[in-house]
Amino acid sequence: MKSLSILLCVLIASVTVSAQDLGGLEEVTAGNIFGFGARQMSMGGAGIASSLDGAALYYNPAALARIHKIELQFGLSHQKFHNETTQPPNRYESLASIRNTAQIDQTKTRFGTLNLTIPVPTYRGSLSVAFGVNRIMSFDRAALYHVIDEDPSEARLDDYAKEFETGGIYVYSGGAGVDISPNLSLGLGLNIYSGKDEFNYDYAFTDDLTLYSESGRRRITEDYIGISAKGGLLARPNEHLSLGLTIESPMDFQVEYTYEENGLVLDTIIEDYYKINYDLTRPFIFGGGVAVRSGVFLATADAEYIDWSQLSYNDNPDEASLNDSLALLYRDVLNLRGGIEFQMPSAGLALRAGAFLNPLPYRKEGMIDTRTVKFIDKDRKGFSAGFGWLIDDVLMLEAAYVRGTYTRMYSPANSAYVNPASSMATAEDTFNRVYVTMSYRY
């Protein structure tokens, strides 16, 4: 029993709760788009062909050419994140499961959007420039893992771990959209990504039978900065149809990674601290969108393709040696987003709804050491709804509600010692988000 406990504790210290066995290869910036702009988010996040406000600076800079008045846009976002982590009962042949499920919530309200769009007088056509800062990624999440097993004498194995993560990435953008013909616009934006991820991991393991115990905390911070360019095209073949295309260049995130751990194994103090720097290269992002308008109805849809298996580490030989593992663990994804809008001009209202499928960026299963591990049970998807209210001729209030879910699976630290049929744990994550945007045009 003692040797089992010690081995379990060593393994617990090497695997985080819901990192799904990706461990240090789980990149929080991969596939983690939070989105902004209440109009776009209320229609599933679609905006490549249908953006009509300053959020076009990021969604498709070519659509800036459709803005003919000076616009100042401001927005907030709110998220409630819920995690439920479960490992099946009867993990050990000689022990009874007392607890196998744990839940945790996290709530955050954040600044989300500030955009300024300025039309430039032209002899013909349209030209608009824009500047903005938008919260494009959110790292706010939490996870709790707590399982208890008991033998006939009521001696317990108590295994506890909690993740609490905060932070995000802001994109500072400048760009312009211009009509090059009556029905064709081009746009270009320069984006500076900057932000921070703060990850705290608390763990505790106790074995009543052998009086073995281990506890501690890890703190990991990652500071990010990177630059990309995004080009866009918007075609309007007729008054009912709009077609959009975007391409965003690869980007090198410069990352400063800091690791700190303080723990206690029996009476022995464990301390560790180090800091490293490396580059993380993100591949091209390709997008396409369509919007169809008929009277007071609008339908819009986007598709976005990115091959996350092309992620790579650079400027650090130790990190670069992991690039083959990145290629094996990550995959290419096609994000699908769409929605509808119904306008009521007499009331100054627009009602909207949408849905999205934003697959998680890693493979559904893969090899870790000699084990085949299932990473994903249900991909990330959800629905949205919202409205726009034209308060008067110059002020627009818009709001969106977004609900999404996904279920990840991982092989926890004790999987090598429990019944194989009961070794996989699941982490069911649910997020509820509210976006509010105010736009003032004059």
Above 50 in pLDDT, residue 14?
no
Q: Has residue 346 been placed in a domain?
A: yes
Q: Which range has the worst mean pLDDT, 29-33, 321-325, 370-374, 393-397?
A: 370-374
How high is the pLDDT of residue 69?
Answer: 94
Residue at token pair 């209210």: 389
Domain that holds residue 6: 2-253+282-441
Average pLDDT over residues 244-272: 95
Average pLDDT over residues 348-375: 84
Q: How many domains does the chain have?
A: 1
In angstroms, rounded to a whole number, what is the distance separating the alpha carbons of residues 253 and 231? Answer: 19
pLDDT band with cut points at 50, 70 and 90 for residue 197: very high
Quote the percentage of the chain above a pLDDT of 90.
72
Burial class, 280, CB count within 10 angstroms (exposed 0-12 / middle 13-18 / buried 19+): buried
Q: Has residue 48 been placed in a domain?
A: yes
Residue 254, CA distances (Å) to 117, 227, 315, 320, 422 in order: 29, 10, 9, 14, 41
Above 90 in pLDDT, residue 11?
no
Neighbours of 271 (CB within 10 A): 9
How high is the pLDDT of residue 422?
Answer: 56
Q: Has residue 398 been placed in a domain?
A: yes
Residues 388, 60, 358: CA angle, nearest 5 degrees = 80
Q: Has residue 145 been placed in a domain?
A: yes
Q: Has residue 164 been placed in a domain?
A: yes
Q: Has residue 291 been placed in a domain?
A: yes
Average pLDDT over residues 7-26: 44
How high is the pLDDT of residue 16?
Answer: 35
Above 50 in pLDDT, residue 13?
no
Q: Which residues pair with 291 in a beta bridge?
A: 242, 300
How high is the pLDDT of residue 403?
Answer: 98
pLDDT band with cut points at 50, 70 and 90 for residue 122: confident
How high is the pLDDT of residue 413?
Answer: 58
Length, in residues, of the chain: 442
In angstroms, rounded to a whole number, what is the distance separating the alpha carbons of residues 390 and 295? Answer: 18
Helix, strand counts (H, E) of the chain = 5, 21
DSSP 66-112: G--S-EEEEEEEEEEEEEEEE--S--STT-EEEE-EEEEEEEEEEEE
Above 70 in pLDDT, residue 421?
no
In angstroms, rounded to a whole number, what is the distance separating the alpha carbons of residues 3 and 108? Answer: 42
Q: Has residue 270 been placed in a domain?
A: no
pLDDT band with cut points at 50, 70 and 90 for residue 423: low
Above 50 in pLDDT, residue 239?
yes
How high is the pLDDT of residue 371?
Answer: 62
> What CATH number corresponds to the domain at position 323?
2.40.160.60
pLDDT band with cut points at 50, 70 and 90 for residue 398: very high
In angstroms, rounded to a whole number, what is the distance separating the alpha carbons of residues 152 and 148? Answer: 13
Q: Has residue 269 been placed in a domain?
A: no
* Mean predicted lDDT score pLDDT of the chain: 89
Above 70 in pLDDT, residue 44?
yes
How high is the pLDDT of residue 363?
Answer: 86
Tokens representing 312? 């790579």
Stated as kind and residue range, the H or E segment containing 203 is strand 184-207
How high is the pLDDT of residue 323?
Answer: 85
How high is the pLDDT of residue 300?
Answer: 98
Q: Roughly how many angstroms between the first and final C-alpha of the chain, as a whole number?
A: 74
Above 90 in pLDDT, residue 368?
no
